[in-house]
Structure 1
Amino acid sequence: MFKLISILLRGRAHDAEQAFADRNAVPLLAQQIRDAAQSIQSARRSVAVAIAQNEQEKVQHGAIIARIADLEVRATAALAKSNDGLAREAAEAIAFLEAERDVSEKAQAQFTQAIDKLKGIVRASEARLQELQRGERLARATQEAQKLDVAVAGPGFATLDDAEETLARLRLRQSQNELTAVALKDMEGAIRPAGIIEKLANAGFGAPLRSSADDVLARLKSRITPAA
């Protein structure tokens, strides 16, 4: 019985953990990406350190080669002068330096191999990081869109349809009011005597109610006294 209870508790704990992870998936992903970016940055620094160490090794290797060449010249000169003692000391130094040269070359080969491997790892990791960052942006956009869908479907936005219908009715009523006002104005003009007289005068029946520009010009010309 105790075993079953233990299994059940562990199962519920796992479900709760998964539910928590699902609810916080986006911020969890963002933190994981930040952690990965820091690891990649550390790997970049490791590559830079390895390159610097390899360059130092190359400088030391060059110095060893130069010292070997110098000692060989001097040892040869000592042999030419039958100074076998100094020539032997030079030969021992040359043998020691040649051993250092060999170790340096092996170290350079190891550095080069390690650097190439680290560079490959960093490049691959950077590509994966960029893909994760794009995925995170898409996940955030999707999450915001889903929140908007839920909000629109919720009670706060449930009256959108009603508001749109109200606006449509308002516009229809305003249009009807405008048409009614125009019709009333026409009717008033048709019923009032003054309106009928104005319509007749404008149609050319009877004297015009207002002077035209031609009438004004004719009146002004008649005032002009012909020159003697």
Structure 2
Amino acid sequence: MFNVILTLIRGRAFDAEQAFIDRNAVPLLAQQIRDAASAIQSARRAVAIAVAQNEQEKSQHAAVAGRIADLESRAVAALQKGSDELARQAAEAIAQLEAERDASEKAQAQFTQTIGRLKATVQASEARLQELQRGERLARATAQTQKLNAVCDDNSGLATLDEAEETLARLRAYQGRCEIAASTMKEMDAASRQTAIVEKLANAGFGAPLGPSADDVLARLRARMNSAA
């Protein structure tokens, strides 16, 4: 008997909790949407910072490349005039700059991958947020309509039937919205997973790459050095 009483208490507590959530579903949804919008805004700022850092890295890379080219021309001139010691010093400086250049190229490749991933995440999140905002507007309109119907109730002898019909209609509408929302979220999740699979396949070498890689850049530089030699 004691277990039955405990079960009944838990059941009533659960029903009360669900009823409280249902009564406050609209403001709860609004706050959740505001929290999601704030998170998306933070993600946008992260993308902007990554893009700015990548542009800075590109500028530094260009400066290093210019210094390498200048030292190479000076080293060649020193060799032509028999200044082997100066040419060797220039070669050591060139080697250090080339290591710095290679590190910059790797950093740019990492920035490119990170930026692409962040942009895809932000775009998918924005689409989901817009769907939620549309659902919130619909929910608010429905709530206002329900309040208006309650005020306009004529309290006639058939009020019980009217109320029961309205309750059933609200229940069906609520269940319909839940099904639509669940279906929409599944579609969005499927699209996000497809994007992630494409990225994984591209990174594994299956199909066209989604962006330049450090290996491609290094291969191009080696080819240019070989052709110059």
- The two structures have a TM-score, normalised by structure 2, of 0.63
Return the letter of the residue paired with 2:84: D
2:34 paired residue number: 34
In 2: Cα distance, 1:2 partner to 1:45 partner: 57
Give unmatched runs, 5+ long, in structure 1. Answer: 159-228
CA displacement 1:110-145 (0-9 Å, x = unmatched): 111111111111111111111111110110001111
1:149 paired residue number: 149
CA displacement 1:137-157 (0-9 Å, x = unmatched): 11000111111111111559x
1:173 paired residue number: none
What is the CA distance between 1:92 and its match in structure 2?
1.0
2:138 paired residue number: 138
1:79 paired residue number: 79
1:15 paired residue number: 15
In 1: Cα distance, 2:71 partner to 2:7 partner: 78
Give unmatched runs, 5+ long, in structure 2. Answer: 159-229
In 2: Cα distance, 1:65 partner to 1:50 partner: 22
In 1: Cα distance, 2:71 partner to 2:3 partner: 80
What is the CA distance between 1:10 and its match in structure 2?
5.1
2:60 paired residue number: 60
Return the letter of the residue paired with 1:140: R
Q: Relative CO higher for 1 or 2, CA cutoff 8 Å, sep ≥ 6?
A: 2
1:128 paired residue number: 128
1:191 paired residue number: none
SS at match of 1:153: coil
Residues 7, 86 of structure 1: alpha-carbon distance in 2 compared, 3 angstrom cutoff:
farther
Instruction: Kindly report which structure 2 residues correspond to 1:165-176, keeping only aligned pairs within 5 A, or say none.
Output: none
Sequence identity (%)? 72
Return the letter of the residue paired with 1:17: E
- The two structures have a TM-score, normalised by structure 1, of 0.63
What is the CA distance between 1:16 and its match in structure 2?
2.9
In 2: Cα distance, 1:129 partner to 1:81 partner: 69
SS at match of 1:82: coil
Residues 9, 55 of structure 1: alpha-carbon distance in 2 compared, 3 angstrom cutoff:
farther
Residues 5, 107 of structure 1: alpha-carbon distance in 2 compared, 3 angstrom cutoff:
farther
What is the CA distance between 1:5 and its match in structure 2?
7.0
Residues 8, 66 of structure 1: alpha-carbon distance in 2 compared, 3 angstrom cutoff:
farther
Residues 91, 151 of structure 1: alpha-carbon distance in 2 compared, 3 angstrom cutoff:
same
Q: Report the number of matched residues.
A: 157
In 1: Cα distance, 2:127 partner to 2:76 partner: 58
What is the CA distance between 1:107 and its match in structure 2?
0.8
Residues 13, 90 of structure 1: alpha-carbon distance in 2 compared, 3 angstrom cutoff:
farther
Instruction: Kindly report which structure 2 residues correspond to 1:149-228, keeping only aligned pairs within 5 A, or say none.
Output: 149-153=149-153, 155=155
Matched, 1:97 2:101: no
Return the letter of the residue paired with 2:69: A
In 2: Cα distance, 1:3 partner to 1:86 partner: 93
In 2: Cα distance, 1:56 partner to 1:122 partner: 23
SS at match of 1:102: helix
Return the letter of the residue paired with 1:104: S
Answer with 1 or 2: which has the greater Rg: 1
In 2: Cα distance, 1:2 partner to 1:52 partner: 66
In 2: Cα distance, 1:13 partner to 1:87 partner: 85
In 1: Cα distance, 2:78 partner to 2:8 partner: 89
Matched, 1:118 2:118: yes
CA displacement 1:175-208 (0-9 Å, x = unmatched): xxxxxxxxxxxxxxxxxxxxxxxxxxxxxxxxxx
